[in-house]
Every structure is written in C-alpha cells, then in structure tokens.
C-alpha cells in the first residue's frame, strides 16, 4: 500500500501495510488522494531493517518516561532512532542523508503503540523537513486577524491556557495547533502550518498562516511583557525546537538558519503572566499592531 500526506507543503510517501494512517489521530486531514511526481521523502513502513547496523550507531540523545525509552543517534550515512517499550518490541527508524527514503520496522513489531508510531513519524518528518527550511516547534499557536502568534514555554507553563484565554476574550481568535506546528521560511518570511501533531488537544488543520509574533511565557504573580533582543530571542526559540536535533551540529545549524530569519523579521517577546484574561489582552494589544 502507498499513501501520500502533505504537511507544510512537503509531501511524504508512505509504503507498507501500515501506510494508511487514518486510524492515527490527526493524519486524515493531511492525506492527499492522488499525487504525481517525486515525494520530498519516502518512509518505508514494511522494512525489517536487517541490514541496518544499529549496534554501530553513536547514540547522542536519550530520554525515558512511563516505561518507554527513546534514543536518537548518528550512523555513517545519516541518523537513526529507536523506541523501546516495556510493553514489548522496539520500533526503529533508519535515515540516510543522501536519500529521500527512510526505513521503519513498524510492520514487524507486534502491537505497535499508536503514540510511539506517531512520535517516530514526527522524527522522520523532522529529518525530511529541515533541509527544506522547516522545523516543528513546541508551541501553542493562535490565529487572529490573518496572522499566527506562537506561545512558547516548558511543559506546564500555561501555553494552552493562554491561547484558550485568547479564544475566550479576543474576537476572531482561533487555535491552529496546540503542540507541534511547523515553522517554515517561505519567500524570506516565516509562516506557520498546522500539523498532525497537536498534543492532547485534537486540532489538526492543514492551514498556512504568516507568523505575526512569538512570545515565551513564564508564570508570575503579575502580567508584564517586554521585547527581547536578538540573542535573547534565539535563547527563547531554540529550546522549543526538537531537543534531539540540538545534539548534532549540522541539524542545529539548519534550525538556527530558520530561527535567524524569524528573529530578523518577527518580534519576539517574554511575557510574565497570570492565567487570566488580562494577560491575554496584554499580549494581544502588544502584538496586534506590530509589523
């Protein structure tokens, strides 16, 4: 089976029995029924990966939670990752830098966890997207007045709360994505796309909106907002990009190229705030008139 998905104007071709991803939350709106031409990336979901030497990989990043261990690494020809679960099986991805094709053993792992497969596809998409000037950003992004506004912060900071307050208090405010939209540079300007990855909030919109502003949030007993200089702005943005990519110099350089354009063209702020309507009104009034 072959299926095509278009995310942030990049076309993914998936092959294998698991290529039909409509059962996974978020992917159906991005499915394209017909496609002619060469896809930007092909992910083969029917590979056993027997010829891929994972034991020789240099593992540069790892994390674990709730019985699931994730590893990201380099090999001689590109990158690889594996997800090992106490529930059984190891999900693997093998990437080659000089090829548009990636290989995954999803069809050869019993009882593949949908969350783990979604995460592996997020990594695969990220590797395919970076050379095209696109990167996923951990942010909640709101649309209002024809522009997109990204709110960054560590998990639990209140990103979703703040964008909810926009929707409740700012006329015309609408959620684009609540966890991992795609930031891309188009004609020298940053734009934001919806994606199939939206965290716990089911918001999967195949839309593209010009970026109007970026704000990093932190909790405080008051509401106060200030514009960041370029060094501060990079420090605000980079931690919200894929953390595993930050452990490879070439991937980091590509992310910084994208963020450099954002910083040159788009205002970046820090908002110390309470979880109240006044905070939403402050950020809206600060951002709405910025060109």
Residues 82 and 157 occupy one common structural domain = no
CA 137, 125, 107, 26 dihedral sign is positive
Number of domains in the chain: 2
Is 74 a residue whose pLDDT tops 90? yes
Element (H, E) at 56: none
206 pLDDT band, cuts 50/70/90, is very high
* Residue 119 backbone phi and psi in degrees, to 5: -65, -40
1 pLDDT band, cuts 50/70/90, is confident
User: Average pLDDT in the 92-114 region?
Assistant: 85
145 pLDDT band, cuts 50/70/90, is very high
Per-residue confidence (pLDDT) for residue 88, from 0 to 100: 67
User: Average pLDDT in the 18-27 region?
Assistant: 80
pTM: 0.94
Residues 124 and 222 occupy one common structural domain = no
Query: Does residue 181 contact residue 194 with C-beta atoms inside 8 Å?
Result: yes
Per-residue confidence (pLDDT) for residue 25, from 0 to 100: 82
Per-residue confidence (pLDDT) for residue 109, from 0 to 100: 66
Residues 8 and 108 occupy one common structural domain = yes
The token pair at 117 is: 């497969």
Is 16 a residue whose pLDDT tops 80? yes
CB 210: neighbour CB atoms within 10 A? 14
User: What's the rounded Cα separation, in Å, for the pair 113 and 254?
Assistant: 31
Residues 10 and 93 occupy one common structural domain = yes
Choose one of 82, 108, 132: the last residue of a domain. Answer: 132
The mean pLDDT value of the chain amounts to 92
Is 86 a residue whose pLDDT tops 90? no
CB 187: neighbour CB atoms within 10 A? 5
- Taking alpha carbons only, the member of 144, 131, 130, 228 closest to residue 182 is 130
Q: CA end-to-end span of the chain, whole Å? A: 47
Residues near 126 by beta carbon (within 8 Å), at least 6 away in sequence: 135, 136, 242, 245
Is 51 a residue whose pLDDT tops 90? no
User: Average pLDDT in the 171-191 region?
Assistant: 96
Is 280 a residue whose pLDDT tops 60? yes
User: What's the rounded Cα separation, in Å, for the pair 290 and 265?
Assistant: 11
Is 182 a residue whose pLDDT tops 80? yes
110 pLDDT band, cuts 50/70/90, is low
Residues 101 and 177 occupy one common structural domain = no
Percent of the chain predicted with pLDDT > 90? 76
DSSP secondary structure letters along 175-238? EEESS--EEEEETTEEEEE--S--TTS------EEEEEEEEEEEE-SS-EEEE--HHHHHHHHG
- The DSSP secondary-structure symbol of 111 reads T
Residues 144 and 282 occupy one common structural domain = yes
Is 291 a residue whose pLDDT tops 60? no
DSSP secondary structure letters along 62-98? EEEETTEEEEEEEETTEEEEEEEETTS-EEEEEE-TT
Per-residue confidence (pLDDT) for residue 111, from 0 to 100: 67
User: Average pLDDT in the 98-124 region?
Assistant: 85
Per-residue confidence (pLDDT) for residue 114, from 0 to 100: 83
Residues 114 and 255 occupy one common structural domain = no
Residues 188 and 53 occupy one common structural domain = no
- The DSSP secondary-structure symbol of 23 reads T
User: Average pLDDT in the 169-179 region?
Assistant: 97
Per-residue confidence (pLDDT) for residue 23, from 0 to 100: 76
Axis-axis angle for helices 249-265, 230-237 (nearest 10): 130
Give the domain extent around 254: 135-287
Residues 160 and 273 occupy one common structural domain = yes
Choose one of 102, 132, 162: the last residue of a domain. Answer: 132
Residues 126 and 31 occupy one common structural domain = yes
Residues 62 and 146 occupy one common structural domain = no
Highest mean pLDDT among 18-32, 77-91, 231-245: 231-245
Point out the least confidently predicted range of 18-27, 165-174, 217-226, 234-243: 18-27
Per-residue confidence (pLDDT) for residue 66, from 0 to 100: 77
pLDDT higher at 1 or 257: 257
Per-residue confidence (pLDDT) for residue 152, from 0 to 100: 97
Residues 123 and 170 occupy one common structural domain = no
């Amino acid at each position: 089976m072959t299926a095509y998905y278009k995310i942030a104007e990049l076309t993914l071709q998936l092959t294998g029995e698991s290529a039909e991803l409509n059962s996974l939350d978020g992917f159906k709106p991005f499915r394209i029924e017909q496609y002619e031409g060469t896809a930007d990336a092909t992910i083969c979901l029917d590979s056993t990966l027997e010829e891929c030497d994972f034991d020789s990989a240099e593992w540069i990043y790892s994390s674990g939670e709730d019985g699931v261990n994730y590893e990201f690494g380099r090999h001689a020809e590109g990158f690889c990752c594996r997800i090992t679960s106490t529930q059984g099986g190891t999900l693997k991805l093998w990437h080659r830098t000089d090829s548009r094709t990636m290989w995954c053993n999803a069809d050869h792992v019993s009882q593949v966890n949908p969350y783990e497969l979604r995460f592996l596809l997020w990594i695969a998409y990220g590797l395919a997207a970076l050379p095209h000037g696109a990167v996923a950003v951990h942010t909640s992004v709101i649309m209002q007045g024809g522009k997109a506004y990204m709110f960054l912060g560590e998990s639990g900071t209140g990103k979703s709360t703040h964008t909810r307050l926009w929707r409740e208090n700012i006329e015309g405010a609408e959620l684009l994505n609540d966890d991992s939209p795609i930031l891309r540079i188009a004609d020298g300007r940053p734009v934001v796309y919806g994606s199939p990855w939206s965290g716990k909030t089911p918001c999967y919109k195949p839309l593209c909106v010009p970026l109007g502003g970026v704000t990093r949030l932190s909790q405080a007993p008051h509401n106060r907002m200030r514009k960041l200089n370029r060094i501060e702005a990079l420090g605000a943005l980079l931690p919200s990009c894929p953390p595993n990519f930050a452990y490879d110099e070439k991937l980091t350089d590509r992310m910084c190229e994208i963020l450099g354009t954002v910083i040159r063209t788009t205002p970046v702020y820090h908002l110390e705030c309470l979880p109240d309507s006044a905070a939403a009104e402050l950020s809206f009034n600060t951002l709405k008139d910025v060109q």
